[in-house]
Structure 1
Amino acid sequence: MKRKFSIKPLTLLFIICFCSVALLYFSSESSDGEVSSDNAQVKLLLNQSIKPFKPVTEDQPVLLPRDFALDPRFQQGWWHFFANVSDAKGTKYGIQWSFFRISSEHQELNGWQNSQLLLSHIVVSSQNQVWHEQRIARGGIGQAGVNSHPFKVWIDNWSWESLGATPFPGVLDVETDSLKLSLQSTALGPFVLPGKRGYVSKNASNQLASYNLSAPFIDVSGELSLDGGPSFHIDGEAWMSKEWGSGLLGDEQQGWDWFVFHLDPQNTLSIRQYRDQNAGHHVVATLSTNSGKTISIDEKDITIEPLQTSFLQGDKAIPLHWSIDIPKHNIHLKVSPNNTNLWLPFVMPYWEGPVTTQGSHVSEGFMQLAGY
């Protein structure tokens, strides 16, 4: 029998708490669009600038391989992995794997006293279909966690593991009732530290920030089975990141728009636009080359505009078509989703899926839209 996550009484209590945290932020807005600050649970997702959690500061740069490890001094950490792959017939698939950690205490206690919640998402999509599942676990009881030497991130029978201190070369193994995936990944270029040595500010006032690292050039190959059918070979390219800090959103932050494009074999572009209610949008963009060069793009040099709004589930309006222009680097893109039906009803719902671009570069990538 295939194992699904089971929920014990105390675990359920923490799940309810986290669900309230995530869902209340995106749903408990007042009539003028401002997030209500009356509910204390909402503050778990907001900026934590006081104890017990360690703040993110510019004077402590990201250090590898140390920072592949889980750091309980910070409130949150999350991994994202996107892959654009094809089978032998040329059918394209998008693969998305995420692993989140959130805590309400800075001390990492063992057993049922551990305050961490660990979540993981798997999404596989084709042009017309979507397969997805979510797993939720309690920290401290061995159901999920992060190891450093050798590297391993796991929840139940889902895992990403390698033989060394970094994720590469590594293997992602995931099995659900509707899909089975075993994907080998090899980094073809260097790790990238965006912003200021991995320190990334999320708003113009620098009141909210996180640490970031990414692997923008990854070669993947493996086996995929869908709906109980036979396994088939897939291969393609991927992108992986880790982000961590204390505070996921600012008090007036509505959400974010995140784009990753493999412009060509030598260049990958990553763009995050943080949407603020009153202070306008804040953009963090990085152009990476597989030779190790990293270019931070000033937000005054980039224009991001939604072109077309789609209505999902009848009434949810989400801009799924975009125009992105960076004249200084001769980048002019029109972005379109491969499959519009990728609003993901997870604990913290968002739209995420593979996209293609036209214009100066005909490329593939991924887009994540949160807070709509």
Structure 2
Amino acid sequence: MLLADARFKPLVFVLCLLSGVSGCEPTSVPENRAADILSQQSQAGFEQVLPGQPLVFPRDHLSHPGFRTEWWYLTANLETAKGQWIAVQWTLFRIATQPLSGSEGATGWQDTQRFMAHAVLTTEKKRWQAERFARGGIGQAGVEGEPYRLWLDNWRWQGLESSPFPATLTFSDSHSDAHTDAHTNSDTSMSDSSMAATLNIRSYGNLVRQGEAGYSQKDPKDPRLASYYYSMPFLLLDGVVTLDGETIAVKGEGWFDREWSSQAMSEHQTGWDWFSLHLDDGRALMLYQLRSTQHVPFAFGSLSWPDGRSIALSSDEASLTPIATSTLSGREIPTRWHLQVPAQQIDLDVQAQREDQLLPFLFPYWEGPVTASGSHNGQGFMELTGY
């Protein structure tokens, strides 16, 4: 999911905004040019992703300021005592405005690290979301170990040791919210909207190194376009969420992703489709494809077990096919998919639980909970960009 990843589309504007570059107003970077900008964001001096470099822990749970971009990403499907579902997405992004080699000794307001965070809570009837930005170097946001901690303002991931788990995630946001009909793109009402969450998170399975031992190539013909990528897909969560003043106990399953890199994507790549699924036989499936104007989509993924077993899936072993779309804010978004991994007897119909999940951040992208049926039942998250 990185770097040729939807999660980095918002970073295009943020990188400009927080580094003081002119000509980066949101209107100057329309959605259909985000891929162009991402494909050009490599810059001499940043560290590069190379195959054969082992991931080392707990070091690689922390920040990698020599690389241009990275993120810490949680998604979760939760349930109330009454059987109602609530989905959670929480992300911390780090962006370097210039290479470390050109910013040695920069501290305080001159620090070259910038941060952005997204928080989203979704139910069947409504979605709550918030986006925040911060500078590094002044205590407003950061990443620390011993004990492990991520934070931006009062949004905080607090671990107990040097690992991300076990941990408690807390965030809250309150604002006036314009409710928009996704099919007409017209404001229908204004109301006060508030959300908060306190979630305890623990891992019951092993860490999964995606790609080749953590080296995840994003273009089939260019090994330079890659990220370091690992997942912790076997998480259990419990706690409370508060939605518009109502506090609700929840519990369920989650997925944690980490990636970092300096080179985003190829000029010819136009968008991404990403799925993380917990199957009813206990396995975790990740499938991801990048669409291109020059070749068929480049697909890859992994299938993992809680006991530590994991197999990488190549483009000729998996297929991702859209089978139905929804019109959201004038865009045709594929909200139902057919996913297949024939060698593993996986044949799934994946459906968005809530179709209106085009998140209204600086660069909108679709992300939300999904259900799976067919050869297996399951649930998870889907992320779509470039439509």
Normalising by structure 1, what TM-score?
0.89
Deviations along 1:172-196, one digit per CA (max 9) or x if unpaired, are 0001111110000010001110111
Aligned residue type for 1:182? T
Aligned mates of 2:16, 2:41 — CA distance in 1: 25
Aligned residue type for 1:130? R
Per-residue deviation, 1:249: 2.5
Look up the match of 1:92: 85
Does the residue aligned with 2:134 lie in a helix, a strand or coil? Answer: strand
Deviations along 1:261-303, one digit per CA (max 9) or x if unpaired, are 0012520000111112213311121000001001111210212
Look up the match of 2:225: 208
Per-residue deviation, 1:114: 1.6
Aligned residue type for 2:254? A
Per-residue deviation, 1:27: 2.8
The partner residue of 2:278 within 262, 284, 288 is 262
Q: Is the 8 A contact 2:62 2:144 kept in 1?
A: yes
Q: Is the 8 A contact 1:171 1:182 kept in 2?
A: yes
Deviations along 1:219-272, one digit per CA (max 9) or x if unpaired, are 10001110122x221000100011101022222221211000001252000011
Look up the match of 1:27: 31
Aligned mates of 2:84, 2:22 — CA distance in 1: 37
Normalising by structure 2, what TM-score?
0.85
Q: In 2 relative to 1, CA 147–345 (structure 1 residues): closer, same or farther, beyond 3 Å?
A: same
The partner residue of 1:60 within 53, 61, 66 is 53
Q: In 2 relative to 1, CA 322–296 (structure 1 residues): closer, same or farther, beyond 3 Å?
A: same
Aligned residue type for 1:114? D
Aligned mates of 2:281, 2:157 — CA distance in 1: 25
Does the residue aligned with 1:340 lie in a helix, a strand or coil? Answer: coil
Superposition pairs of residues 1-372 of structure 1, within 5 angstroms: 13-14=17-18, 17=21, 20=24, 27=31, 29=33, 42=37, 46=40, 48=42, 51-107=44-100, 109-177=106-174, 178-205=194-221, 206-229=223-246, 231-264=247-280, 266-313=282-329, 315-372=330-387
Aligned mates of 1:88, 1:19 — CA distance in 2: 50
Structure 1 residue runs without a partner (length 5+): 1-10, 37-41
Per-residue deviation, 1:47: 5.5
Aligned mates of 2:316, 2:29 — CA distance in 1: 29
Per-residue deviation, 1:16: 7.0
Aligned mates of 1:35, 1:181 — CA distance in 2: 33
Aligned residue type for 1:211? Y
Structure 2 residue runs without a partner (length 5+): 1-14, 175-193
Where relative contact order (Cα < 8 A, 6+ residues apart) is larger, the structure is 2
Moved more, 20-29 or 57-66: 20-29
Aligned mates of 1:150, 1:18 — CA distance in 2: 39
Aligned residue type for 1:350? Y
Q: Is the 8 A contact 2:16 2:22 kept in 1?
A: no
Aligned residue type for 2:227? S
Per-residue deviation, 1:153: 0.6
Does the residue aligned with 2:49 lie in a helix, a strand or coil? Answer: coil
Per-residue deviation, 1:79: 1.4
Per-residue deviation, 1:22: 8.3
Aligned mates of 1:370, 1:151 — CA distance in 2: 31
Aligned mates of 1:15, 1:84 — CA distance in 2: 36
Per-residue deviation, 1:347: 2.3
Q: In 2 relative to 1, CA 266–252 (structure 1 residues): closer, same or farther, beyond 3 Å?
A: same
